[in-house]
Amino acid sequence: MADLLFYITAAFTVFCALGVVLNRNAVNAALCLLLSLVGVAVLFALLNAYLLAVLLVLVYAGAVVALFLFIIMLLDVRADQKRPFKLVSLIASLAGLALLAGGISMLLTRGQLSASPPPAAAAPVGSVLKSYAELLFTTYLLPVEIIGFLLLIAMLGVIVLCKKFESLEDVK
């Protein structure tokens, strides 16, 4: 049953990721990204990594996708605007295709990964979360706050840049 759930969730995640890449409408692509991130969170939960699953949903699916949607709606991006296809896009696409082909060929020629032996005694769930929380609120408190502050500055910068002023009196 767990294998079937894994295959269904993995197919759903890949389908939604393809929707992100192939969708011409930016809002629909952001919503496909949200569904893809939820699928990855379910895969984390299937691996018993509940903290990663919850953090992925809270941080990425909750905050980052909401910020993407906010920016897309502020910029008023239209799907009917066609841009000319440039040589740089072609080169980047070919490089990405070559990397994908190389990864698939390595996967097929190498075989399956060997399973590592299970640990002798697994730590209780609460102790692992307690150590994460202790590190987050002591050692890594300043970097987390700096990143939050930078995201706030970026959001305010986007709002100011997207604001359409009619005249110079509106700016003052």
Count of C-beta atoms within a 10 Å radius of residue 97: 10
Task: Tell which CATH architecture fits domain 1-78.
Answer: Up-down Bundle (1.20)
Q: Once rounded to an integer, what is the mean pLDDT over residues 118-129?
A: 63
pLDDT of 138 strictly over 70 = yes
Radius of gyration in angstroms for the set of CA atoms belonging to the chain, rounded to a whole number:
22
pTM of the predicted structure, to 2 decimals: 0.53
DSSP annotation string for 66-117: HHHHHHHHHHT--TT------HHHHHHHHHHHHHHHHHHHHHHHH-PPPPPP
Confidence at residue 115, expressed as pLDDT on a 0 to 100 scale: 61
Task: Kindly report, residue by residue over 60-85, the tens digit of the pLDDT.
Answer: 888 888 878 777 777 765 655 566 66
Any idea which of 52-66, 130-144, 154-168 has the lowest mean pLDDT?
154-168
